[in-house]
């Protein structure tokens, strides 16, 4: 969450900082600010949309060729201008911006107060400026290294000082930071999107590292000042890929990009004639994976629902016991991990704090660690032993859409990979590979029914509650549909296994309480149909997501949204699309900010 941007060079800093903050705005924020160093530091902060900060900057003289900026999502302290970043020390020399949480900030604040430091905000971040001030003797990076040795918690920290001009000092622990120098200046950001217009060649900081960036170079050390050799990564995507492409919202653009994102996830990985999946990132561990007798998948949010689909796939087609774990709880459970256990972490951003913490626990216990990640060079990608990129491209909308379907597609590849290592036959393997190959076209066909979804959205946009139900492969889709509606529209929605309705939730059903039933023509169709009948008998409106050719459902449901037929295991990739569109259209009709829903952030880098 939150955005960090810093620049030092020979250009005016303010426009570069504002541009970087705009490109990071999708991550979620509720206030913003910047400081630019000219003849003296000029600090400006604002609550609300970035436009509020831009308007303030336009009225001020912000001359200066180096500075730092931040967009904040509140954790400690309310959403106020005084709590917005950057924060300064008592002398207005040291300025800091920070993502993360300082767990021992109360202890540090007490000690600093005893030494005469005065605080103006309610944040944990402000103590970092005063702590660095305490150690500052003219060389900023030395003060930062000394200060960070006393800090417990997580941080992506960027610091600048008036008395050590032209220098940016960045420090990282469990919160992403990237640095770059392009010949005309030095940059630091929490997201490569903030600096991609200036350079595609970047360096990712690792935990415990401190970077000193100037206009013409950089140095990276650890907290003990040992110099670290760093590899330069060249970003694969362009700034154009992060634009709306003529659509009114990023969310709609990303929903419509799913045929392409699925094609990218599958490209070069299907050996149709052999009925196999070729996953290059796993090949060095192929023999160890052959002996895997248990797979733990961990994730948060939408990624955890993709993991649930993967659980069904891998157990059904590979015969490996699979457990899907909430990453936030995993490391507190004292999990039992055997020598043949594999651990798969799924994250769109590759920076999800809870998932990274779960990964660290699994590594500590000796599991083979795997990753399913969208962002190349992210922390998760660098920390797992082997992994698979889903190549969905940048996902700007806070609510995940194309990342979800590409994750499910890659999990299907993984099920095929594991299955063919074991007892899955050539015929079955070919059938799955052929069906996967056809998916992008089927998704495109599903998207062509968007106008039908919009009509349903208009009909139900004023409902105050929704149920989403499904069985087997459709159960995680029901959960995802409910999550999307909550995220985008702020309407109360709950997802259930269809068989659970009669065990309590059905008590809420009446003529004003619609249910979205995910009911493709699959192995549990008749069971789900019975559950729909129970709701209908209590006058509950039914919106059905059903397979093409199923006319029977029209006699029961009030509205039907059709999807093409495919293998049962792949139906989630098709059935989730009408639910994504339903959330989108209801959100737009209710005037919601569908790209940046309230209280949410794209990359959750705190626990």
342 neighbors 371 (Cβ within 8 angstroms) = no
User: pLDDT confidence of 429, banded at 50, 70, 90?
Assistant: very high
Of the two residues 246 and 584, the one the predictor is more confident about is 584
Phi and psi at 68, nearest 5°, equal: -135, 150
| Maximum average pLDDT range among 177-186, 192-201, 483-492 | 483-492
* Per-residue confidence (pLDDT) for residue 368, from 0 to 100: 96
Task: Report, as an integer, the average pLDDT of 404-432.
Answer: 97
4 neighbors 177 (Cβ within 8 angstroms) = yes
pLDDT over 80 at 138, yes or no? yes
pLDDT over 80 at 236, yes or no? no
Q: Which fold has domain 3-235?
A: 3.60.20
Closest by Cα among 576, 577, 571, 516 to 547:
571
Alpha carbons 552 and 398: distance in angstroms, whole number: 37
Of the two residues 329 and 30, the one the predictor is more confident about is 329
For 12, 24, 282, 317, 502, the CA distances from 497, given in Å and listed in that order, are: 56, 37, 33, 22, 10
Structure tokens at 18: 């504002």
Helix intervals (H) in 319-401: 327-330, 353-364, 379-383
Task: Report, as an integer, the average pLDDT of 60-72.
Answer: 95
Write the class of the CATH domain 450-589: alpha beta
Question: Which residues are known to be catalytic?
Answer: 2, 602
**For 107-121, 234-248, 469-483, which range has the lowest pLDDT when averaged over its residues?**
234-248
Per-residue pLDDT tens digits for 492-522: 999 999 999 989 999 999 999 999 999 999 9
Per residue, what are the HEC states of 253-307?
Answer: HHHHCHHHHHHHHHCCCEECCCCEECCHHHHHHHHHHHCCCEEEEEECCHHHHHH
Domains 242-447 and 450-589 share a fold: yes
* Per-residue confidence (pLDDT) for residue 559, from 0 to 100: 97
Question: What is the distance between the terminal CA atoms of the chain, rounded to a whole angstrom?
Answer: 11
Task: Report, as an integer, the average pLDDT of 579-592.
Answer: 98
Per-residue pLDDT tens digits for 298-351: 999 999 999 999 999 999 999 999 999 999 999 888 888 988 999 999 998 888
For CA atoms 238, 241, 244, 245, the dihedral sign is positive
User: pLDDT confidence of 480, banded at 50, 70, 90?
Assistant: very high
Alpha carbons 606 and 604: distance in angstroms, whole number: 6
User: pLDDT confidence of 27, banded at 50, 70, 90?
Assistant: low
Per-residue pLDDT tens digits for 372-386: 998 877 889 899 999
* Per-residue confidence (pLDDT) for residue 606, from 0 to 100: 53
- Residues of the chain with pLDDT > 70, as a percent, come to 97
Alpha carbons 14 and 67: distance in angstroms, whole number: 7
For 407, 433, 480, 600, the CA distances from 266, given in Å and listed in that order, are: 11, 10, 22, 30
- Residues of the chain with pLDDT > 90, as a percent, come to 81
74 neighbors 51 (Cβ within 8 angstroms) = no
Per-residue pLDDT tens digits for 209-223: 999 999 999 999 999
Q: How many CA atoms lie within 13 A of 259 on its CB side?
A: 11
Q: What is the CA 485 to chain-centroid distance, rounded?
A: 17
DSSP string, 381-432: HHHSSEEEE-------SSS-SHHHHHHHHHHHHHHHHHHHHTT--HHHHHHH
Residue-range domain boundaries for the chain = 3-235, 242-447, 450-589
Neighbour order of strands in the sheet with 217-222: 87-88, 94-102, 153-161, 168-173, 209-214, 217-222
Task: Report, as an integer, the average pLDDT of 63-68.
Answer: 96
* Per-residue confidence (pLDDT) for residue 29, from 0 to 100: 78
DSSP string, 527-545: HHHHHHHHHHTTT--EEEE
* Per-residue confidence (pLDDT) for residue 395, from 0 to 100: 85
How high does pLDDT run on average in the chain? 93
pLDDT over 70 at 239, yes or no? no
pTM of the predicted protein model: 0.72
* Per-residue confidence (pLDDT) for residue 241, from 0 to 100: 61
Q: Which fold has domain 242-447?
A: Rossmann fold (3.40.50)
Per-residue pLDDT tens digits for 307-319: 999 999 999 999 9
Closest by Cα among 408, 413, 380 to 261:
408
């Amino acid at each position: 969450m939150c955005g960090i941007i810093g620049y030092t060079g020979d250009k005016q800093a303010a426009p570069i900082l504002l541009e970087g903050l705009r490109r990071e705005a999708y991550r979620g924020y509720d206030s913003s600010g910047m400081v630019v160093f000219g003849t003296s530091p000029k600090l400006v902060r604002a609550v609300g949309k970035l436009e509020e900060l831009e308007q303030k900057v336009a009225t001020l003289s912000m001359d200066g060729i180096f500075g730092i900026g931040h967009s904040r999502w509140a954790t400690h302290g309310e959403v106020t201008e005084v709590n917005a970043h950057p924060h300064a020390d008592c002398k207005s020399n040291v300025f800091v911006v920070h993502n993360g949480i300082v767990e021992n900030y109360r202890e540090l604040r007490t000690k600093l107060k005893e030494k005469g430091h005065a605080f103006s905000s309610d944040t944990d971040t402000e103590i970092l400026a005063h702590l660095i001030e305490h150690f500052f003797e003219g060389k900023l990076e030395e003060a930062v290294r000394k200060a960070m040795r006393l800090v417990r918690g997580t941080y992506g920290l960027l610091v600048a000082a008036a008395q050590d001009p032209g220098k940016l000092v960045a420090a990282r622990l469990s919160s992403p930071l990237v640095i770059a120098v392009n010949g005309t200046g030095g940059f630091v950001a929490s997201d490569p999107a903030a600096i991609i217009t200036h350079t595609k060649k970047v360096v990712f900081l690792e935990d415990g590292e401190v970077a000193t960036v100037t206009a013409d170079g950089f140095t990276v050390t650890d907290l003990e000042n040992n110099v670290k050799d760093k590899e330069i990564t060249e970003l694969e995507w362009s700034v154009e890929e992060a634009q709306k492409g003529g659509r009114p919202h990023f969310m709609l653009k990303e929903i419509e990009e799913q045929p392409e994102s699925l094609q990218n996830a599958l490209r070069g990985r299907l050996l149709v004639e052999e009925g196999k999946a070729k996953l290059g990132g796993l090949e060095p561990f192929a023999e160890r994976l052959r002996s895997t007798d248990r797979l733990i998948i961990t994730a948060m949010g939408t990624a955890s629902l993709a993991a649930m689909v993967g659980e069904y796939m891998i157990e059904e087609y590979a015969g490996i016991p699979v457990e899907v774990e909430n990453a936030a709880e995993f490391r507190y459970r004292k999990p039992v991990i055997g020598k043949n256990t594999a651990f798969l972490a799924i994250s769109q951003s590759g920076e999800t704090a809870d998932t990274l913490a779960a990964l660290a626990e699994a590594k500590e216990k000796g599991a083979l660690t795997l990753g399913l990640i969208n962002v190349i060079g992210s922390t998760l990608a660098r920390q797992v032993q082997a992994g698979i990129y889903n190549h969905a491209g940048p996902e700007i909308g806070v609510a995940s859409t194309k990342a979800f379907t590409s994750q499910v597609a890659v999990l299907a590849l993984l099920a095929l990979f594991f299955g063919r290592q074991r007892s899955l036959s050539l015929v079955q393997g070919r059938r799955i590979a052929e069906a996967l190959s056809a998916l992008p076209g089927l998704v495109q066909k599903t998207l062509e029914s968007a106008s039908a979804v919009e009509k349903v959205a208009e009909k139900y946009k004023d409902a105050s509650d929704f149920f989403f139900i499904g069985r087997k492969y459709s159960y995680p889709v029901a959960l995802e549909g409910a999550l999307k509606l909550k995220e985008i529209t702020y309407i109360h929605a709950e997802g259930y296994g269809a068989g659970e309705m009669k065990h309590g939730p059905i008590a809420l059903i009446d003529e004003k309480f619609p249910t979205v039933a995910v009911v493709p023509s699959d192995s549990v169709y008749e069971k789900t149909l019975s559950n729909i009948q129970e709701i209908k008998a209590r006058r509950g409106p039914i919106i059905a997501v059903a397979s093409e050719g199923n006319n029977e459902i029209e006699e029961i449901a009030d509205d039907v949204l059709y999807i093409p037929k495919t293998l049962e295991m792949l139906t989630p990739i098709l059935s989730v699309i009408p639910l994504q569109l339903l959330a989108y259209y209801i959100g737009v009709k209710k005037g919601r900010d569908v790209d940046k829903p309230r209280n949410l952030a794209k990359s959750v880098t705190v626990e």
